[in-house]
Amino acid sequence: FGEYILENILPKGSAILRVSYDGAYVGILIFLALSTYAIVRHGLFDIKLAAVRSAAYLLSIATLSAIYYAAAYVVSITLFRGEMTSAISLSPVNIFLALILAFVFQPIKQFFDKMTNDIFYRDSYKNDEFFAELSQLLASTTNLRGLLERVSKQLMATFKSEQVFFFLYYSGSNDHYMSAGTERHAKMPMYDARLLDEYVSTSKYRVILTDLISDNPTIHKMLQSHRIGLVLPLRQGKKIAGYVLMGDHLTSYYTKRDLSVLVTVSNELIIAIQNAVSLHEVTELNATLQQRIDVATKE
């Protein structure tokens, strides 16, 4: 439309308007470039998912086209003695072939969806299965350390993390803590935990990704030194009860779906862990009382 105005309506010497029109082109290109960067940088659009789904649809369409032309060719050979044009143009045959394609489209699409998922999403998991397995695991044991180790292994296997471990406060004080997780997990000293407490208390995010921390270089460097790629704070009201600390993703990166799943299970984790912590504290108290009784008996 702009070209039509420039060529047919405006005078030939309207150079200023032409420059403005060309500048609009440049502005649009800059806007598209910045928008694309923002989408990719902040994960506003899953390009990989769009590419995989597009490939699945293209393969489905190509397969349906091949089935259609193969069926039309067979019909032309058997019924119309090779007259391909007349075979395809007959409306009853077209309706019959369209019905066949309508019935086979969904199975073909499901096949290519599964095939592309197996190729591009080998690390995928089903939310319902993960929730069911985690709930069963949380209800199967009340031993605190054993619970933390088993949950860590479950999280590491599901989210393809390099390591997973818990850092928990107990005994109603931030002076007592327990750290447990997968084999050879990092050890976070109390000093670093204090730094993380201060940062999390002012952060608006429910899940913290190390790579996206730009407002606190100290925290970013500290988490990297422990090979931590993701932090899930465990809160009881406004109080921080501890953390789930996960290493870098082994194959790609943590997605928005991963973060959403972790936020969903955080409350269930807190309840199960708190019950195990309470039992652990009672066990420690009983052991301490028994020691005092033994000492008093000897005296």
What is this structure's pTM? 0.58
Q: Is the pLDDT of residue 114 over 60?
A: yes
Instruction: List the single range of 18-22, 53-57, 114-118 with lowest mean pLDDT.
Output: 18-22
> What CA–CA distances, in Å, run from 191 to 4, 174, 222, 224, 260?
69, 11, 11, 15, 29
- Pairing type for strands 239-246 and 164-170 reads antiparallel
Q: Which amino acid is located at 134 in the chain?
A: L
pLDDT in tens, 210-266: 999 988 999 999 999 999 999 999 988 888 889 999 999 988 889 888 999 999 999
Residue 170, pLDDT > 80, answer no
Share of the chain above pLDDT 90, in %: 26
Contacts (Cβ under 8 Å, ≥6 apart) of 156: 162, 163, 164, 182, 246
Residue range 265-277, pLDDT digits in tens: 998 898 888 887 7
Backbone angles phi, psi at 174, to 5 degrees: -80, 5
Region 129-141 average pLDDT:
86
SS3 of 241, please?
Answer: strand
Highest mean pLDDT among 30-34, 55-59, 124-128, 199-203: 199-203
Q: Flag whether pLDDT at 24 surpasses 80.
A: no
In the prediction, which pLDDT does 121 show?
52
The answer, yes or no, to whether residue 164 has pLDDT greater than 90, is: yes
Residue 5 has pLDDT above 80, yes or no: no
Q: Given this model, what pLDDT does residue 125 score?
A: 78
Taking the C-alpha atoms of residue 240 and residue 234, their distance in angstroms, rounded to an integer, is: 6
More confident residue, 173 or 219: 219
Q: Crossing angle, helix 256-298 and helix 127-140, to 10 degrees?
A: 0
Judged by average pLDDT, the poorest of 22-26, 202-206, 274-278 is 22-26
For residue 132, CA distances in Å to 43, 214, 255, 257, 279 come to 28, 36, 21, 17, 24
pLDDT in tens, 65-80: 777 777 767 766 776 5
Q: Check residue 144 and give its pLDDT.
A: 82
H-assigned helices in 206-255: 217-225
Question: Picking from 95-99, 163-167, 244-248, which range would have the lowest pLDDT averaged per residue?
Answer: 95-99
- Taking Cα atoms as reference points, which of 68, 112, 117, 110 lies closest to residue 93? 68
Q: 11 in helix, strand or coil?
A: coil
